[in-house]
Structure 1
Amino acid sequence: MIAILSAVIPVALIVLVGFVAGKTLQLDISTLSRLSLYVLFPALVADSLYRTTLSAENAVGIFLGFTLTYLLMCLLAWVLAKRMGLSTPVQKSLVATSAFPNTGNMGLPVALFALGEAGLERAVVYMIASSIVIFSTAPAFLKGGGFWSGVLFTLKLPLMWAMIAGLGLRWSGVQLPFKLDESLHLVAQATISVALLLLGMQIANSRLELKLYEGAASLLRLVGGAVAGYLVAKLLGLTELDLQVVVLQSAMPSAVSAFLMVNEFGGDAACTARVVVVSTLLAFVTLPVVLWAISIVG
């Protein structure tokens, strides 16, 4: 239990600091979000892939783990939305909040504190998989813009080019001159703390409203995602640490990107925002249970 709390409490405290900062300081959250998306996360991806000791087999297994979990959650949310007779915008929102886990701001720090550097390496691969799959399929689903428009959108993201650069440096064995690798690593180290502070600020500036839908949708993401991730990991025959990372990342709350994409391409934006906030808060209750569970079944 102490080990589990040691993985969750540091995350919660940094988020709390961000929450207080968001309530007391006049900060430009959109600028910090863009800094994270276009600078810090790409630096973390490139640095992690450059330094990783993860084998191609493990990486492929984790990539497939996310893809199958994502498809399963999309299908489950869509069927439930249809059965419940929800409006079309809310149906889209339920799919988005159910299938888009917060693998960055929340997933990476928890993986680091719970599973160490080896867990973080795998969590980065999971995050890359989520970026590729979600950004290449979600716009087409929400807006109907087609698969290739989603692919083109994905290719514009710095994360994709950071992934290519990191893999290229890793596979080529090139050593960066003038200690540029240390500079990259220094920037990458800022990602986790800034992401958690930003998450707290976003909660501080969001409206909290807990109704039946918000609670049910949040549990579908948190509990349903964890169960789906475990079933997929077992189906793929993933090794212990890979399984733990897939389950843990699949148990993350709804991503802020779910709100951003629904707001941009179609769906109920207000409803999505509420689920993102509620699921994030509930995650501090469900994640210790998930960490305990994967320590047993892993």
Structure 2
Amino acid sequence: MVIFFEVVLPVLLVFLIGFLVQKWRKIKIPAVSEVAIYIMTPCLVFRTFYTAELNLQYFYMVIFSIVLLFALIIINKIYSFIRQYPQSTEGGMILATAFMNTGNYGAPIILFAYGEAGFDYSVSFLVLQAIIMNFFGVYYAARGNAGIKIAMKAVFLMPATYAVIIALLAKGFNVAMPNNLMATVDIIAEATVPTVMIILGMQLALIELRNFEWGKIAYGTVVRLILSPIIAYGITVALPIDPLLTKVLIVSAAMPSAATIVMYAVQFDSEPKLVSSITLMTTLISIVTITLLLTLLQ
């Protein structure tokens, strides 16, 4: 219970604030999201990569992400084949289970649980997952509809991509950033996490609680919250990963479905009701599963 009150509850309360404000004021979420995507997140990403000591651990993070993604995709393909689901349902299942909410849920939890060192790893993993999501997520949502072309465009339209490139170039060529400029970046970066947490609460307020397909939701919930961290644990055992990074990756892999993926499902009509339902249920149930996982890893 200590873990719940000290780590999980503060995060949930911020989500709740966003949820209640959206129910009350009906704020236009895309406008708020654009501020977070185009201004706040790039500053946080730039600061993280510019100040981080890049080493082999980041390479292992990439390997971990790729193996986990394809393991979950294969599981969904096998399950969809056995159940004889159409391609659209298979795509919806992959969207809901292969992509986790490392941004406005995972990063805050890890910050509270493991401090700034863990948070730096979490932000790096967040960027990597965003790139993977923008490519594979868009592909599975828009499969058969120029998916790869749209996915590649999405990756290069993401400001965080350029923030990583600029930070790595500045770091590689030992470019010293002026103190006043870094102070500005710091101020904006510090506002990023609470903002994206509030946005998630606002997004959850828009999900409709009706016409649930409970069998598919149960499957998606088990894969996302239970099977995914188990697979993640197996991958970390096979790689020489730092103990702190191991915890960050396992906890990140146990996060609920990514809220962003709902937008892809809606945009490309890839089972949007199913994807949003799994997103909602995994977010609610993760209150228990994340608490238990943090306790086990402690």
TM-score (norm 1): 0.93
Q: Find the partner of 1:265 among 265, 268, 271.
A: 268
> For the residues of structure 1 that align with 2:38 and 2:84, how far apart are their CA atoms?
39
* Map 1:178-189 → 2, pairs under 5 A: 179-189=180-190
Aligned match of 1:31: 31
Equivalent residue number for residue 114 of structure 2: 115
Deviation at 1:226, TM superposition (A): 0.8
Deviations 1:218-263 (CA, angstroms, capped at 9, x unpaired): 2211111111111111111312111111101111100012212222
Q: Structure 1: 5+ residue runs without aligned partners? A: none
Q: SS state of the match for residue 104, structure 1?
A: helix
Question: With structure 2 as the length reference, what TM-score do the two structures score?
Answer: 0.93
Q: Give 1:17-96 correspondences, 5 Å limit.
A: 17-53=17-53, 55-96=54-95
Paired residue type of 2:12: A
Give structure 2 stretches of 5+ with no counterpart.
none
Counterpart-to-counterpart distance in 1, 2:228 and 2:171: 32
Q: Would you say the 8 A contact 2:224–2:254 is kept in 1?
A: yes
1:293 — aligned with what? 296
SS of equivalent residue, structure 1 residue 179: helix
Aligned letter for 1:107?
Answer: G
| Residue type at the aligned position of 2:11 | V
- The number of residues matched between the two structures is 294
Q: How does 1:247-286 map to 2 (within 5 A)?
A: 247-286=250-289
Report the RMSD for the aligned CA atoms in angstroms.
1.7
Displacement of 1:172 in angstroms is: 2.5
Q: Distance in 2 between matches of 1:181 and 1:273?
A: 38
2:102 counterpart SS class: coil
Q: Any idea what the Cα deviations from partners look like across 1:136-177, whole Å, max 9, x if unmatched?
A: 233333323364653333112111001111222222332222
2:11 is matched with which residue? 11
| C-alpha contact (below 8 Å) 2:134/2:155 kept by paired residues | yes
2:231 pairs with one of 228, 233, 247: 228
Amino acid at match of 2:262: F
Following the alignment from structure 1 to structure 2, what is the Cα–Cα distance between the partners of residues 193 and 170?
A: 27
Alignment check: 8 A CA contact 2:95 2:140 kept: no
- The separation in 2 between residues aligned to 1:105 and 1:61, in whole angstroms, is 23
Q: Relative to structure 2, which stretch is displaced further, 174-183 or 135-144?
A: 135-144
